[in-house]
Amino acid sequence: MVTLQLNRVSARYGRQPILEGITTPCFQGGQIVALLGPNAAGKSTLFRRILGLLKGEGEVIISGTSAERPVGYMPQDTGAKAVLTVYESVLLARMQGRGLKVQPEDLAQVDRALEELSIAALGERDIGDLSGGQRQLVSAAQALVQEPEILMLDEPTSALDLNRQISLLTVLRRLADERQMLILVALHDLGHALRFADAAMLLENGRLIACGPTAEVITPSLLRQVYQVAARIEPCSKGQPQLIVEAAI
Ligand SMILES: Nc1ncnc2c1ncn2[C@@H]1O[C@H](COP(=O)(O)OP(=O)(O)OP(=O)(O)O)[C@@H](O)[C@H]1O
């Protein structure tokens, strides 16, 4: 089973240090880990560091995989300028690192990714003509279609309506449960993190302030400290923890 552990990981842009000494427990396939923190805390930077796009001290330790490219990534910026249809763009993503010869399995995986995200009907549309939410779903399909063992998504629900937010997170939960993917997902909606994530990492100013089971990370005192909000967490009538934000302070 694939595992990921960070050991004193740092990152900088030029001379500007952004991340300092990030150490995590060993996360494993089957888990959803929410990456939390206010704007500019360093979430996207951490994804880039894990992908090897940024250098820095410390170690990103990935084991339990024989895949050449075990990590898939859905970036935050889903701007699409290429003149491609949705289907072509997802197929192109599938073929990255697989050579140019398209196999029936590749087409089947494109169909599956589009269907999983309920965007099969958009297949023939140009990606430049899509709405922001549609583009975000196509970007998610481009990451899913690679069948990575570790999937990292940077705020994948930020442009989606309520139904599509929950649908996408439900798909992620299923990929973790059924295909034993390890999923790291940056989220601003802490209610979604409470509901869908097994564990959470909370970043503030490039440092890891808390890391562990989601309900132990999303606490009123940490929300006050890191997000400057007064908040309560109470069980709903079905016993699920609900986040109630009373005020920005
Ligand atoms: N290419 C870059 N060059 C220099 N500084 C950068 C670059 N990209 C990001 N930064 C800086 O690094 C810090 C962390 O940014 P990052 O995008 O990782 O935050 P984030 O937690 O993902 O934020 P958000 O929730 O707003 O998306 C910020 O201060 C940002 O200005």
Residue 235 inside a domain? The answer is no
d(CA 217, CA 190): 10
Centre of ligand 1 to C-alpha 189, Å, is: 19
Q: Tell me, yes or no, whether 111 lies in a domain.
A: yes
DSSP annotation of 145 reads T
Domain that holds residue 31: 3-217
Q: Return the residue whose CA atom lies nearest to atom 26 of ligand 1.
A: 39
Q: HSE-up of 199 (CA within 13 Å, CB side)?
A: 18
Asked whether residue 106 carries a pLDDT value surpassing 80, the answer given is yes
Q: How many domains does the chain have?
A: 1
Is 33 inside any structural domain? yes
**Tell me, what's the pLDDT at 68?**
78
Average pLDDT rounded to a whole number, residues 240-248? 94
Residue 226 belongs to some domain of the structure: no
Name the one residue in this structure whose structure tokens are 């992908």. 51
What residue's CA is closest to ligand 1, atom 1?
13
Which pLDDT does position 147 carry in this prediction? Answer: 92
pLDDT on residue 80 = 64
- Full 3-state SS string of 169-222: HHHHHHHHHHHCCEEEEECCCHHHHHHHCCEEEEEECCEEEEEEEHHHHCCHHH
Cα(46)–Cα(152) distance, integer angstroms: 10
Residue ranges around ligand 1 (CB below 6 Å): 13, 16, 18, 37, 39-45, 76
CATH of the domain at 27: 3.40.50.300
The residue-averaged pLDDT of 120-144 equals 94
Q: Whose CA is nearest to atom 11 of ligand 1?
A: 40
With respect to residue 223, please indicate whether it lies within any of the assigned structural domains.
no
End-to-end CA distance of the chain: 43
**Does 18 map to a domain?**
yes
Q: Which of 35, 4, 34, 2 is nearest to 19 (CA)?
A: 35
Asked if residue 83 is part of any domain, the answer here is yes
Mean pLDDT of the chain: 94
pLDDT tens track for 156-202: 999 999 999 999 999 999 999 999 999 999 999 999 999 999 999 99
152: number of CA atoms within 13 Å, CB side? 20
Look up residue 16 and give its two tokens. 């500007």
Residue 210: how many CB atoms within 10 A of its CB? 17
- Establish if 213 belongs to a structural domain: yes
- Nearest-atom number in ligand 1 for the CA of 188 is 25
- 79 has pLDDT over 80: no
